[in-house]
Amino acid sequence: MKTLILIRHAKSDWGDLSAPDYDRTLNHRGLHDAPVMGRRLAEQTLVPDLFTASSAVRARMSAELMAEAMGYPEAQLHWRDELYLAEPSTMLDIIRKTPETVNSLALLAHNPGMTGLVERLTSERFDHMPTAGVVTLKAEIAHWREAGRRWQLHCFDYPEHLQ
44/3 Cα distance (integer angstroms):
13
80/58 Cα distance (integer angstroms):
13
Question: Would you mind telling me the total number of residues written for the chain in this entry?
Answer: 163
Residue numbers in the known binding site are 58
Given strand 104-109, what is the order of strands in its sheet? Answer: 78-80, 50-54, 104-109, 2-8, 134-139, 152-157
Residue numbers in the known binding site for substrate are 58
Are residues 33 and 95 in contact, defined by beta-carbon separation less than 8 angstroms? no
CA distances for 116 relative to 60, 85, 143, 149, angstroms: 21, 12, 22, 15
